[in-house]
Amino acid sequence: MSSNNERTFIAIKPDGVQRGLISKILGRFEDRGYKLIGIKLVTPTENLLKQHYAEHVNKPFFPGMLSYMMSGPILATVWEGKDVVKQGRNILGATNPLNSAPGTIRGDFAIDMGRNVCHGSDSVESAEREINLWFKKEEIIDWKLASLSWIYE
C-alpha cells in the first residue's frame, strides 16, 4: 500500500517550456489531486544532466539528448501523493508519444520521442535520487493541502 507522502520528480523539458505547455501540464497533476511541493525553472548544467541520465551517458543518442536538454530552461517539479510515481507516469503517457494514449500529456502534446515534453521518475528509488539531484532540501516545501480530506479517505 502506497503512502500519501510518496514523491516523484517531473520535469517539463525545453520543448514543453518553449511551447507554453507549463500550465497545462501542471494542471493535469493538480486536477488529479497531487500536491506540488517543489518547483523551479532551471537551465541545467552538463554535469547535472550526466548525473541524471547516468545510465545513458555511453549510448550513441546521449550527445544529442544532452544538447537538447541544455537548449533552454527546464521546469523541475516535485509532486506528492498516493502512488504518485506510477500515476505520474500514467499521466505523462508512454515515452514514445506515438504509443501514448489520447488524454495523456505525451498523447496530447507530442509526436516525436526526441521531443516528448516531459520526464517522470520511473520508480520510488529513482524519484528520490532525481529529487536530490535537482533540489536542495530547503527547496522542498512541506505544507498541508486544504482539500486533502476530499481526495483521500
pLDDT at 132: 98
The secondary structure of residue 141, as a DSSP letter, is -
CATH value at residue 87: 3.30.70.141
Look at the chain and report how many structural domains it folds into.
1
Mapped onto helix, strand or coil, the DSSP state of residue 61 is coil
Is 148 part of any domain? Answer: no
- pLDDT tens sequence across 74-88: 999 999 999 999 999
Q: Grid coordinates representing 121?
A: 521518475
Is 89 known as a binding-site position? yes
Q: Grid coordinates representing 102?
A: 489520447
Instruction: Name the amino acid, one letter, at 31.
Output: D
Is 77 known as a binding-site position? no
Chain length of the chain:
153
Domain that holds residue 32: 7-142
Question: Helices 22-32 & 84-92, crossing angle to 10 degrees?
Answer: 140
Is 7 known as a binding-site position? no
CB 100 within 8 Å of CB 107: yes
Is 1 part of any domain? Answer: no
Is 2 part of any domain? Answer: no
Is 13 known as a binding-site position? yes
pLDDT at 117 exceeding the cut of 90: yes
Catalytic residue among 14, 91, 119, 130, which? 119
Is 56 part of any domain? Answer: yes
Is 83 part of any domain? Answer: yes
pLDDT at 2: 46
CB 12 within 8 Å of CB 79: no
Helix (H) or strand (E) holding 106, with range, is helix 105-109
pLDDT at 3: 64
Is 32 known as a binding-site position? no
Burial of 77 (0-12, 13-18, 19+ CB in 10 A): buried
Does 119 qualify as catalytic in the annotation?
A: yes
Is 104 part of any domain? Answer: yes
CB atoms within 10 A of CB 4: 14
Q: Grid coordinates representing 77?
A: 517539479
Is 61 known as a binding-site position? yes
Is 153 part of any domain? Answer: no
pLDDT at 1 exceeding the cut of 50: no
pLDDT at 4: 81
